[in-house]
Structure 1
Amino acid sequence: MTTLTDRPNTALVVVDVQNGVMNGAHDREAVLANVVALVEKARSGGVDVVWVQHADDGLPRGSEEWEYVPELVRRESEPLVHKAYGDAFEDTDLEAVLAARGIGRLVVAGAQTDACIRSTLHGAFTRGYDATLVADAHTTEDLTAYGAPSPGGVIAHTNLYWKFQTAPGRTAGTVQTAEVDFGVTASA
């Protein structure tokens, strides 16, 4: 139900599942297994997989930390969007990539929940995209030393508020990996 015209297609957007991001990630193995399953499901269903890769001082481009985890291998035909800000739409070619493929609905997974995942979800939603968060396929690191809630709390809170996100002409929501149906809108 996206507000974007002529955008009937869906994409899986895999955000920042990079070595330096995932090293200290909460529930890393389970989340990574879910992201791998989503990529396989999207590919087998002919759904676009769009990869987003962050670079900054802590993740210098070309470094081992910057590389995607070895469990996930991007196919040459799958777009790769490089970013330097939390929102994968900011100062990137993500919008052009999605427009060229007629994509109006995003299924989002990856890291970090309280930064790039949330920013990208909000960025997509405000730009007119339907945006579904895969509730068991995103993670974050433990930032409790800086006053943040526990990683599990951050993930649970993000799932809770995104489940009930609304706006005219767009859908949002959460879904579990096992329930992802790339041809059906999000379950709330």
Structure 2
Amino acid sequence: MTTLENRPRTALLVIDVQNDVVAAAYERDTVVANIADLVDRARQEQVPVVWVRHSDDELVLGSAGWQIVPELVPAEGEAIVEKLFRDSFEATTLETELAELAVGRLVVCGAQTDFCVRSTLHGALARGYDALLVSDAHTTEDLTAWGAPAPAQVIAHTNMYWSTQRAPGRTAGTSETKSVDFAAAS
């Protein structure tokens, strides 16, 4: 269980599901639909939903490409964390938001698998959080032209290694969308 004291709650962390980030993403529509299902279920179960939104020189703050995809609409009062680095905790308000919500366990989904999703998972575990990756609710674009494996392989590899990730006093793992239990420890 989490090593963070007095943090019994779980939150759904939705990372960078922005127009330009997922425009050419592998199985984009299926992944976005799975994330929408997770968001709906979290809200029904009164689990906090925390949104993360990236910006940089190519993803300009406030631009159309920077916006969260139209299929996903943050509800009033849900935290939106702005970030500049891959790890959603680095130089952001994420830790403060999670502390205020008494969250010690994260259910993680979003984009891109091989950049911000992986960095945030590792950042969470290193900071004392339990971190569950939703295996069919994260995606990446095709970067094979730069030497990366095909997107399906990147996603499969990330799911494989995160399914056995561990740290003292913390848990990690994976679950399909349909099997996510927001109440259970991973």
TM-score w.r.t. length of structure 2: 0.99
CA displacement, residues 65-115 of structure 1 (integer Å, 9 cap, x when unaligned)? 000000000012100000000000000010000001100000000000000
Partner of residue 124, structure 2: 124
Deviation per CA, 1:105-142: give whole Å up to 9, x if none.
00000000000000000000000000000000000000
What is the correspondence of 1:38-57 to structure 2 with a 5 Å cutoff?
A: 38-57=38-57
Task: Give 5+ residue unaligned stretches, structure 1.
Answer: none
Distance 1:153 1:12 in 2: 25
Displacement of 1:161 after TM fit?
A: 0.1
- Find out whether 1:19 has 2:6 as its counterpart: no
Could you say which residue in structure 2 is the equivalent of 1:146? 146
Identity of aligned residues (%): 61
The one-letter code sitting in structure 2 at the alignment partner of 1:86 is R
Structure 1 runs of 4+ aligned residues shifted over 6 Å read none
Matched to 2:125, the amino acid is: F
- Counting matched residue pairs gives 186
Q: CA deviation at 1:58?
A: 1.1
Opposite residue 66 of structure 2, the aligned amino acid is: W
SS in 1 for 2:167: coil
| Whole-Å separation in 2 of the counterparts to 1:58 and 1:133 | 27
For 1:7 and 1:150, the matched residues in 2 are separated by 38
What's the counterpart of residue 179 of structure 1? 179
1:37 & 1:28 partners in 2: Cα distance?
14
1:96 aligned counterpart, secondary structure: helix
RMSD: 0.4
Task: Give 5+ residue unaligned stretches, structure 2.
Answer: none
